[in-house]
Structure 1
């Protein structure tokens, strides 16, 4: 990966819907050369997808919590991912160091819905217990 690839990635991070002509202009390439760069980054597995981000306050899912997950025994990350994918309110999950085995972010329409989702997580066979904190406001949010 060279400096132009890094600039291409930076432009795509800022706007994944940018057209190849505009992308090329931003990084000093033609539209076709910009497309070839993006295609090559995808082929090499550096870019794994294109997505959108939503402002939760503008959608119906405004209630969020971060949940520390404590598992029974050793649970492989893939098994944890399969189990947590059964709960639609889980929007992010990561294995971590420290006392907890994983950190999970839940997003729901209301406190009641959040509580129901948390109960679903607690009922998963590999989960021993949880510790959660409701998010009041975001101070910094990355793209």
Structure 2
């Protein structure tokens, strides 16, 4: 489903703060609270909005170390094989197949360097992994939770 301008503005408002009231969002986009609710319900039903959540600073949960791991897979490894292999690691925050030499890139969090190293070793030992290459995050510079800006 492609969002129209009004729906995009509503989604942007919810992405900034999902706890905002329909009335507050309606005042911003020029609709009544019931009209905003109907649109949000339709966006949920269509799958354009996949859910509501809270964003937590990983450090508040004890995850002080962040890194990205490039995964180079053995021949004939499917994206489903990669996903199944990685989904059991609670340290993996995100994983995507990518273009370029690597087959996938994984974002992971760990409590410290030793924990990061142990997780990296376990991932490198997965049957589908040929090799890995990792980098550690020193300072996150920019994190966006929405795509695009409201018009």
**3-state SS in 2 of match to 1:75:** coil
Distance (Å, rounded) in 1 between the aligned partners of 2:19 and 2:69: 32
Task: In structure 2, list runs of 5 or more residues that go unmatched.
Answer: 146-151
TM-score, normalisation: structure 1: 0.93
Matches within 5 A, 1:102-121: 102-121=104-123
- In the superposition, the TM-score normalised over structure 2's length comes to 0.89
For 1:35-85, what per-residue CA distance to the aligned partner results, in whole angstroms no more than 9, with x for missing partners? Answer: 100011111111112222222333310101110000001222122111101
Relative contact order (alpha carbons < 8 A, sep ≥ 6): 1 or 2 greater?
2
Match of 2:85 in 1: 83
Of 25, 28, 48, the match for 1:26: 28
Flag structure 1 segments of 5+ consecutive residues without an equivalent: none
Partner of residue 54, structure 1: 56
Could you tell me which residue of structure 2 aligns to residue 70 of structure 1? 72
| Aligned equivalents of 1:55, 1:83: Cα separation in 2 | 26
Indicate conservation of the 8 Å contact 1:72/1:126, yes or no.
yes
CA–CA distance in 2 between the matches of 1:77 and 1:61?
Answer: 27
